[in-house]
Amino acid sequence: MHSLAFYTFGKTASVSVSPILHTPLEFLTGVGPQRAAALREEFGLSTVKDLLQHYPFRYVDRSDTEEIGALNASLDYIQIRGILGPLKEEGVGPARRVRSTLRDATGAVELIWFKGVKWVAQNLVPGAEYLAYGKPGEYKGHLNMPHPELERLTPGAVIQKYLQPVYSSTEKLSRKGLNSRGIEKLIETALSLSRKEIPETLSEEICGRFKFLSKTDAVYLIHRPRNFEDVQQAQRRLKFEELFYIQLELLIKKELRAKEVAGFRFESVAETFMTFYEKHLPFELTEAQKRVLKEIRRDLRSGTQMNRLLQGDVGSGKTIVAALSALIAIDNGYQVSIMAPTEILASQHFESFSVMLGQMPVSVELLTGSTKTARRRAIDKASQSGALNILIGTHALLEEKVQFKNLGLAIIDEQHRFGVAQRAKLWKKNTLPPHVLVMTATPIPRTLAMTLYGDLDVSVIDELPPGRKPVKTTHVTDSARLRIFGFMKEQIKQGRQVYVVYPLIEESATLDLKDLMDGYESIVRDFPQPEYQISIVHGRMKPADKEWEMNRFVKGQTQIMVATTVIEVGVNVPNASVMVIESAQRFGLSQLHQLRGRVGRGADQSHCILVSDVKLSREARLRLKTMCETNDGFKIAETDLQLRGPGDLMGTQQSGILDLKMANLATDTIILQYARNVVLDLLEEDPTLQLPKNAPIAAHTRELIKDKPNWSRIS
Ligand code: ADP
Ligand code: MG
């Protein structure tokens, strides 16, 4: 990917850069070298400008206090005001704590601290009046408020009505006097110095159209709002701006690539493709598959490198689309690589490609970590000579030794398991970059897709092959065990196969393994040989053993597969019609959906049984309820995003990209959509931001490019 630096946005005439905004924090009144270092280490804040972007995460109406006599433990965070009672230190070591009380005319409540005991004991003044902010709790039927935020009031103080911003701080910063209040004071200083110098970053046209506050007002009001209306207006403007610039970056990159990254031109759809399409296609393609294939063909003959994300729910039939795309590349004299995240999946792809293309003059090979050296050498040779058409594999494909004569298409299955860096690694194998088709079975909510893959084109298979019956999902508790076993037997009698899945989560791997083995044993007891054959697969087994067990199940030699989540992704056993998920409350929504996707692949009615404890957290209950209510992967992904937030949803790999200061991808869908559309219109009218009316945008874009890290997030 070319750097953006050479690309000139707008007029090159320099804009005046505010000296105050770029001042290192160390020189701001009240900071100094030590605090500056701490601010940099804890939050990455180096300049006054950075500090101004440390936005409050909450506001407290300081004039609004509750009567202490009316408190109860079900209240959320509230504020109370009263006289502090005597401080009592108790316990030693980790059990050390301080207790006190806060009393007003209506009653008293206990305050308690388990951390920072020394500081509390030394700094609080019994008998003085305090404002306390915290969440009432209950301990053994006794009301208290653990770790309240306290502020001492001067005698007779009248609390002015104003919204106090609350900033995130850390223990280290607090020790240097920079708790929320300390940070608030610094920001006040910074604001008073720089208020007139904050440059506008959006055009008048955009601000006018959406009735946005100016940048200056937005920054000022986000820190010093008069009321919640101010907060809302400021947030609206700042969220839009943040999302706008992410989209601008992605869409400029996409356009640059379209201009600069030439791709192989696959002009012809010839012999192999046509023969296969007309004679050997195992089924008629769905409309969605046909549409997606058209989109891919258009890319492949455009002369520009394809970068396409193919989204399709589990079982929607992505494999055949990949196979047909591969044939186009082969017809044009190029090789194809297909990369999957696990050996089992790579093997399955290999098998289905071998079967599908069995009657075609196309050579397919499998390369994984366990491929023997001699075999590997033969594959290398065929790959380098061009004799090999399709190479399927795991990460092993990324190793330097694999050389292609002319790799023309790289297909990546289950993208988000590979990092973006690995995606880029494939490029280098070759002089011209191959076309890239990324397939994902995890439906990604639109907002995330637009942000993570905003520089890719997206195709969606939004239709399942005909004749599929939606999986029936039920939620039961452990007490239903006998009924579940009975149901499994009934299904097996009809020739079906069954998965029983246990969670395996790293920290408690040993306990989980015990759970799995206990479960396995009770199943073995209830499903005796030789009538029943049982497979077991878990993470502690050797890959070869796993493979062997898995294969017995795939071939129908065993009726029950007891497993941990290693079977989660992609495995295809159409005859399996029951999925029992144990301790279902411990799985995330997208995991549950992936697991359920293992059944419902044949024409028979399939079932998913979620087994959980009786006692469930609110969120767990919502997850299981969502699963019972819908089979729609996109709906499930949306709910997952609401519950977990984008960072957790996508794993840590991409969380940097999702580390937004103001906007929230789970809730700001509409703003994001507007931002993207505005950017699309903008770039259509003024692709290099030369128009005078767009000068503020051009200037800010140049700034962002200078502060590189943000702009090189995705390459
Ligand atoms: P996924 O999108 O999860 O990778 P697969 O490509 O494995 O889905 O397809 C799931 C199953 O559906 C396979 O058994 C496949 O043969 C079958 N299938 C795919 N497309 C169609 C279709 N158009 N008509 C009938 N069956 C299909
Ligand atoms: Mg698949």
Ligand 1 pocket test, pick from 320, 347, 439, 468 with the greatest ligand atom count within 8 Å of Cβ, gives: 320
> Which ligand 1 atom is at minimum distance from the Cα of 312?
2
> Which ligand 1 atom is at minimum distance from the Cα of 320?
6
Indicate if the pLDDT at residue 64 is higher than 50. Answer: yes
> Which ligand 1 atom is at minimum distance from the Cα of 284?
23
Show the tokens assigned to 415: 């993208």
Output 532 or 643, whichever has higher pLDDT: 532
Q: What is the DSSP letter of 130?
A: E
**Global pTM value:** 0.65
Taking 3-state DSSP, the helix, strand and coil percentages for the chain, each rounded to the nearest 5, stand at: 45, 15, 35
Scanning the structure block, which residue is given the tokens 């608030």?
184
Q: What is the DSSP letter of 115?
A: S
Ligand nearest to the CA of 597: 1
The mean pLDDT value for 643-666 works out to 64
- Give the phi and the psi of residue 493 in degrees, each rounded to 5: -60, -35
In this prediction, residue 28 carries a pLDDT of 92
- CA of residue 634 to ligand 2 center, whole Å: 17
> Which ligand 1 atom is at minimum distance from the Cα of 597?
3
CA distances from 148 to 153, 166, 181, 400, 478 (A): 15, 14, 14, 57, 40
Ligand nearest to the CA of 314: 1
The burial of 161, by beta-carbon neighbours within 10 Å (0-12 exposed, 13-18 middle, 19 or more buried), is given as exposed
> Which ligand 1 atom is at minimum distance from the Cα of 285?
23
In short, whether 312's Cβ falls inside 6 Å of ligand 1 is yes
In short, whether 575's Cβ falls inside 6 Å of ligand 1 is no
- CA of residue 319 to ligand 1 center, whole Å: 7
| Dist CA 608 CA 498 (whole Å) | 10
Indicate if the pLDDT at residue 676 is higher than 80. Answer: yes
Output 304 or 489, whichever has higher pLDDT: 489
8 Å CB contact between 219 and 52: yes
Strands 407-413 and 435-440: parallel
Pick from 64-78, 480-494, 534-548 the range whose average pLDDT is largest. Answer: 480-494
Ligand nearest to the CA of 576: 1
Show the tokens assigned to 464: 């399942």
Q: What is the DSSP letter of 125?
A: -
- CA of residue 440 to ligand 2 center, whole Å: 8
In this prediction, residue 95 carries a pLDDT of 83
pLDDT tens per residue across span 441-500: 766 777 777 776 777 788 889 888 888 888 999 999 989 999 999 999 999 999 999 999
In this prediction, residue 652 carries a pLDDT of 39
| pLDDT more than 70, % of the chain | 89
Terminal alpha carbon distance of the chain: 6
pLDDT tens per residue across span 568-626: 555 778 899 999 999 999 888 888 988 898 898 877 899 999 999 898 888 899 999 99
| Dist CA 54 CA 661 (whole Å) | 8
8 Å CB contact between 537 and 571: no
Residues in Cβ contact with 362 at an 8 Å cutoff, skipping those fewer than 6 apart: 272, 327, 330, 389, 390
- CA of residue 297 to ligand 2 center, whole Å: 20
Q: Which residue intervals of 538-632 are DSSP H helices?
A: 543-554, 589-596, 618-629
In this prediction, residue 415 carries a pLDDT of 55
- Residue of the CA atom closest to atom 9 of ligand 1: 317
- CA of residue 602 to ligand 1 center, whole Å: 10
The mean pLDDT value for 253-281 works out to 81
In this prediction, residue 342 carries a pLDDT of 77
In short, whether 283's Cβ falls inside 6 Å of ligand 1 is yes
Q: How many CA atoms lie within 13 A of 399 on its CB side?
A: 11
Which neighbouring-strand residues pair with 80? 132
In short, whether 257's Cβ falls inside 6 Å of ligand 1 is no
In short, whether 316's Cβ falls inside 6 Å of ligand 1 is yes
- Give the phi and the psi of residue 476 in degrees, each rounded to 5: -130, 170
Lowest mean pLDDT among 280-294, 336-350, 386-400, 639-653: 639-653
Show the tokens assigned to 453: 């893959």
Cβ contacts of 689-696, under 8 Å, gap ≥ 24: 689/9, 689/10, 690/10, 690/11, 693/203, 693/204, 693/205, 694/10, 694/203, 695/10, 695/11, 695/203, 696/199, 696/200, 696/201, 696/202, 696/203
Ligand 1 pocket test, pick from 316, 342, 461, 594 with the greatest ligand atom count within 8 Å of Cβ, gives: 316
Indicate if the pLDDT at residue 628 is higher than 50. Answer: yes
- State the pLDDT confidence band at 184, using cuts at 50, 70 and 90: very high
Rg (CA), the chain: 30
Residue type, 689: L
Element (H, E) at 364: strand 364-367
Scanning the structure block, which residue is given the tokens 């605090």?
35
Lowest mean pLDDT among 30-34, 255-259, 525-529: 255-259
- Furthest-apart CA atoms within the chain: distance in Å: 92
In this prediction, residue 379 carries a pLDDT of 93
Indicate if the pLDDT at residue 533 is higher than 50. Answer: yes
- State the pLDDT confidence band at 195, using cuts at 50, 70 and 90: confident
The mean pLDDT value for 280-307 works out to 91
In short, whether 239's Cβ falls inside 6 Å of ligand 1 is no
Residues in Cβ contact with 676 at an 8 Å cutoff, skipping those fewer than 6 apart: 243, 247, 251, 450, 454
- State the pLDDT confidence band at 525, using cuts at 50, 70 and 90: very high
8 Å CB contact between 233 and 211: no
- CA of residue 570 to ligand 2 center, whole Å: 5
| Dist CA 365 CA 9 (whole Å) | 47
Indicate if the pLDDT at residue 656 is higher than 80. Answer: no
pLDDT tens per residue across span 200-238: 999 999 999 999 999 999 999 999 998 889 999 999 999
In short, whether 572's Cβ falls inside 6 Å of ligand 1 is yes
Show the tokens assigned to 106: 């209506």
- Residue of the CA atom closest to atom 21 of ligand 1: 465
Sheet holding 497-501, edge to edge: 472-477, 607-612, 576-581, 497-501, 560-563, 534-537
Ligand 1 pocket test, pick from 325, 572, 631 with the greatest ligand atom count within 8 Å of Cβ, gives: 572
In short, whether 286's Cβ falls inside 6 Å of ligand 1 is yes
In this prediction, residue 655 carries a pLDDT of 44
| Dist CA 495 CA 498 (whole Å) | 10
- Residue of the CA atom closest to atom 11 of ligand 1: 315
Read out DSSP for 261-278?
-B--------HHHHHIII
Indicate if the pLDDT at residue 712 is higher than 50. Answer: no
In short, whether 594's Cβ falls inside 6 Å of ligand 1 is no
8 Å CB contact between 133 and 60: yes
pLDDT tens per residue across span 127-182: 999 999 888 988 888 899 998 988 888 877 777 667 889 899 988 998 898 988 89
- Residue of the CA atom closest to atom 16 of ligand 1: 317
Per-residue b or e along 127-157, where b marks 16 or more CB atoms closer than 10 Å to that residue's CB: eebbbbbbebeeeeeebbbbebbbbeeeeee
- Residue of the CA atom closest to atom 25 of ligand 1: 465
Show the tokens assigned to 539: 């993470």
In short, whether 289's Cβ falls inside 6 Å of ligand 1 is yes
Residues 511/515/516/520 CA torsion (nearest 10 deg): 150
Across the chain, mean pLDDT equals 85
- Residue of the CA atom closest to atom 19 of ligand 1: 317
Indicate if the pLDDT at residue 10 is higher than 60. Answer: no
- Residue of the CA atom closest to atom 5 of ligand 1: 317
In this prediction, residue 49 carries a pLDDT of 92
The mean pLDDT value for 80-107 works out to 91
| Dist CA 335 CA 327 (whole Å) | 9
Q: Which 3 state secondary structure label does DSSP give 571?
A: coil
- Residue of the CA atom closest to atom 23 of ligand 1: 285
- State the pLDDT confidence band at 1, using cuts at 50, 70 and 90: very low
